[in-house]
Structure 1
Amino acid sequence: AIRNEGDPQSWPPLFSLHVPAMLCIFASLVSFSLSLSLSVDSFVSPSSQVFATQLLSAVETNTRHTSSSNRPTETDRPSYLAGDAPLTIVVGSPSFVSCADCESSQQPNNFAQLPLGSFSLCRNESTFVVTTLSEQGALYGIGSIYRELGGVVAGPWSGPPARHARGSPSHGWVAERGVQSPLLARRGFHYHTEHPLELAHFLNGVSIVNGTEDDGSAWQAQWPLWQQLCQWLVLTRSNTFEWSLLRLPSCPRPGPRACGDPSLSPLRLERLRNITATAHSLGLQVGADLPIAEVQQRGWFILDVLNATQTANPTPTIRARLAWLADAGFDYLSTESGTSEFTATNDTQMVRWMNETAAAATAAFGAKTGEQTSAWIKVHCSQGQPCADYTTPWQPDTPLNYNFLPLYADTAMGVYPHTVEFYSLRDPAPTYGNTNFSSMATFVNWTRSRPRCDRSVVYHGESAYWVSVDSSVPLALPLYVAARLADLRALVSPQVGGGSSTGCPLDGSITFTSGYQLDYWIHDAAIAAAQWGTGLSPHMSEAEALAAVFTTALSDATAGKAAAAIAMDQQRWLVYGNDTDRLTANNSAALHGKATGAAYLVGWGTWQNIPSELNELNALTQPQHLSLISTRLDVPLGSRARYASTVAPLLSGLAQAADTWASTWAALPTASNWPIFGSLLNLTALRAQQVATSYAYAYSWPKGPSDPGRLAELTRLRSIMANATAIARSLNDTLVVPWTGTWHGVDDSVTAYAYGYLWPAVSLYYWWRDVRLAVLPHPTADLSPCLWNIEDPSLILSG
Structure 2
Amino acid sequence: MLLFSGNASASHSLDSNIKYIGILAPQSLLNAPVSAAAIEDTKRLIERGFPGVQIVGNHPHASVTIILPDIGKGNPDKRASFKYPRQEYEWRSYRTNDGTVHIRLYAESPEAVSFGLYGLLQEKLGYRFYHPRDTIIPAYREWPLPATFSWKARPRFEKRGFHLHTLHPIELTSALHDSDRSLDEVKEYIDWLARNGQNVFQFYLLRDIDREKWPARAREIVRYAHSRGVLAGVEISLARTQQGAFQAIKLLSLPFGPVQQVERTLNWLFQANWDFVTVDFAVGEYLPDLGGLMPVLRENMLSGIAKRGAKPFYATHVIAGANWYSKPRADAGILIHTVMCYSAVEASAPVYGNKDQRHMFALARHESPMRETWYWPESAYWVSFDNSVPLFLLLYPEARFQDIIAMEKLGLHGHITFSSGWEWGYWLTDWSISRWSWQYEENGKEVIAHPLSVLNTILPGKNLQKLWQRAIDLQRIYLKEKGLLPYLSALDPSAELFFPFNKPFQPRPRYPFRLLRSATEAELEKAGEDIGLLDEYAAKIESLSGMIEAEAEKCLSKDPSLMKLHRELLLGLRITALRARHRSLTMTAVIAGKTKGKGEVDHYLDRALDVRLAALSIVQEVEKTYRYPLERVAGTGENHTSYAFGYLYPVHSLFFWKREEEQVRARRFDAFFINLWDFRKILGLAGKTSLTRSLF
What secondary structure does 1:181 align onto?
Answer: strand
Listed as ranges, the matches of 1:27-106 within 5 Å are 35-40=20-25, 41-45=29-33, 46-60=36-50, 86-93=63-70
Looking at structure 1, the residues matched to 348 and 62 of structure 2 have their Cα atoms a distance apart, in angstroms, of: 55
Cα distance in 1, alignment partners of residues 86 and 395 from structure 2: 31
For residue 436 of structure 1, the aligned residue among 353, 356, 360 is 356
Deviation for aligned residue 1:433: 0.9
Deviations 1:731-767, CA, capped at 9 Å, x for gaps: 222222223343423xx31111011001111221111
Output the CA distance in 2 between the equivalents of 1:85 and 1:415.
50
Matched, 1:575 2:480: yes
Determine the structure 2 residue equivalent to 1:740: 632
Of 612, 621, 643 in structure 2, the residue corresponding to residue 753 of structure 1 is: 643
Query: Contact between 2:513 and 2:669, CA under 8 Å: does it hold in 1?
Result: no
Give the partner amino acid of 2:508.
P
Alpha carbons of 1:597 and 1:285: their partners in 2 closer, same or farther (altered >3 Å)? same
- Superposed, 1:325-336 pairs within 5 Å as 325-336=269-280
- Change in Cα spacing, 1:664 to 1:44, as seen in structure 2 (3 Å) is farther
Q: Which runs of 5+ in 1 are unaligned?
A: 1-24, 64-83, 97-112, 207-215, 249-261, 367-373, 386-401, 495-504, 578-595
- Deviation, 1:525, is 0.9
Q: Are 1:777 and 2:670 an aligned pair? A: no
8 Å CA contact 1:476–1:684 kept in 2: the answer is: yes
Match of 2:79 in 1: none
Offset at 1:637?
8.1
Q: Which amino acid aligns with 1:87?
A: V
Change in 2 beyond 3 A, CA 1:520/1:620? closer
Match of 2:90 in 1: 120
Indicate how the Cα distance of structure 1 residues 534 and 763 shifts in structure 2: closer, same or farther if over 3 A, else same: farther
1:491-528 Cα distance to aligned partner (Å, 9 max, x none): 3225xxxxxxxxxx211110100122233110011111
Secondary structure of 1:652's match? helix
Specify whether residues 306 and 272 from structure 1 end up closer, same or farther in structure 2 by C-alpha distance, changes over 3 A only: same
How many equivalent pairs are there? 632
**1:444 match: secondary structure:** helix
Counterpart Cα distance in 2 of 1:313 and 1:795? 25
Q: CA deviation at 1:341?
A: 2.0
* Residue aligning to 1:608: 495
- Which residue of structure 1 aligns with residue 620 of structure 2? 729
Residue 303 of structure 2 is matched in structure 1 by 359
- For 1:793 and 1:534, the matched residues in 2 are separated by 48
* Alignment partners' CA distance in 1, 2:111 and 2:547: 38
Q: Which residue of 1 aligns with 2:162?
A: 189
Question: What is the TM-score of this pair, normalised by structure 2?
Answer: 0.83
Measure, in 2, the Cα distance between the counterparts of 1:175 and 1:364.
49
Q: Distance in 1 between matches of 2:586 and 2:158?
A: 48
* Structure 1 SS opposite 2:296: helix
Inter-partner Cα distance in structure 1 for 2:19 and 2:605: 61
Closer/same/farther in 2, CA of residues 204 and 329 from structure 1, 3 Å limit: farther
Task: Determine whether 1:180 maps to 2:153.
Answer: yes
How much does 1:558 deviate? 6.5
1:291 is aligned to: 237
RMSD of Structure 2 on Structure 1 (CA): 3.4
Residues 626-674 of structure 1: CA distance to partner in whole angstroms, max 9, x if unpaired? Answer: 222432x225886424312x42233223323432553354233347232
SS in 1 for 2:306: helix
If asked which structure has higher relative contact order (CA below 8 Å, sep 6+), I would say 2
Matched with 1:264 is: 211
The 2-side partners of 1:715 and 1:44 are apart by 65
Q: Cα distance 1:508–1:784, how it changes in 2: closer, same or farther (>3 A)?
A: same
* Separation (CA, whole Å) in 2 of partners of 1:379 and 1:175: 48
How far does residue 121 in structure 1 lie from its aligned partner after superposition? 1.1
What secondary structure sits across from 2:22 in the alignment? strand
- Of 116-125 and 413-422, more deviation after overlay is shown by 116-125
CA contact (8 A) 1:433 1:617 kept: no
Aligned counterpart in structure 1 of residue 512 of structure 2, from 590, 609, 627: 627
User: 2:426 aligned with 1:520, yes or no?
Assistant: yes
CA contact (8 A) 1:741 1:762 kept: no
CA distance in 1, matches of 2:384, 2:258: 40
1:460–1:684 distance in 2 versus 1, CA, 3 Å: same
**3-state SS of the aligned residue for 2:452?**
helix
SS at 1:353 equivalent: helix
CA distance change for structure 1 residues 192 and 696 in 2, over 3 Å: closer, same or farther?
Answer: same
Residue in structure 2 matched with residue 340 of structure 1 by the alignment: 284
Structure 1 pair 27–752 and aligned structure 2 pair: CA distance change class (3 A): closer
Determine which of 140, 154, 172 is the counterpart of 1:199.
172
State how far apart, in whole Å, the 2-side matches of 1:534 and 1:663 are: 35
In structure 1, which of residues 442, 454, 460 is the aligned counterpart of residue 370 of structure 2? 454
* Distance across 2 between alignment mates of 1:309 and 1:648: 60
Secondary structure, in 3 states, of the residue corresponding to 1:189? strand
Q: How many angstroms does 1:132 deviate by?
A: 2.0
Secondary structure at the residue paired with 1:509?
strand
Contact 2:175–2:185 under 8 Å retained in 1: no
Return the offset for 1:606: 4.2
Give 2:102's aligned amino acid. Answer: T
- Residue 654 of structure 1 aligns with an amino acid whose one-letter code is Y
Write the deviation string for residues 214-255 of structure 1: whole angstroms up to 9, x where unpaired.
xx3xx22xx44323222221222111111111011xxxxxxx
Correspondences of 1:86-485 after superposition (within 5 Å): 86-93=63-70, 116-125=86-95, 126-147=101-122, 150-165=125-140, 177-206=150-179, 216=180, 219-220=181-182, 223-248=183-208, 262-265=209-212, 267-307=213-253, 313-314=258-259, 316-345=260-289, 348-366=292-310, 374-385=311-322, 402-405=323-326, 408-425=327-344, 426-448=346-368, 453-485=369-401
Displacement of 1:377 after TM fit?
1.6
Name the TM-score, length of structure 1 as normaliser: 0.73
Q: State the AA in 2 paired with 1:520.
A: Y
CA distance in 1, matches of 2:147, 2:620: 39
C-alpha change, 1:489 and 1:299, in structure 2 (3 Å) is same
**Cα distance change, pair 144–169 in 1 and its aligned pair in 2 (3 A):** farther
Stretches of structure 2 that go unaligned for 5 or more consecutive residues are 6-17, 54-60, 74-82, 96-100, 557-561, 690-696
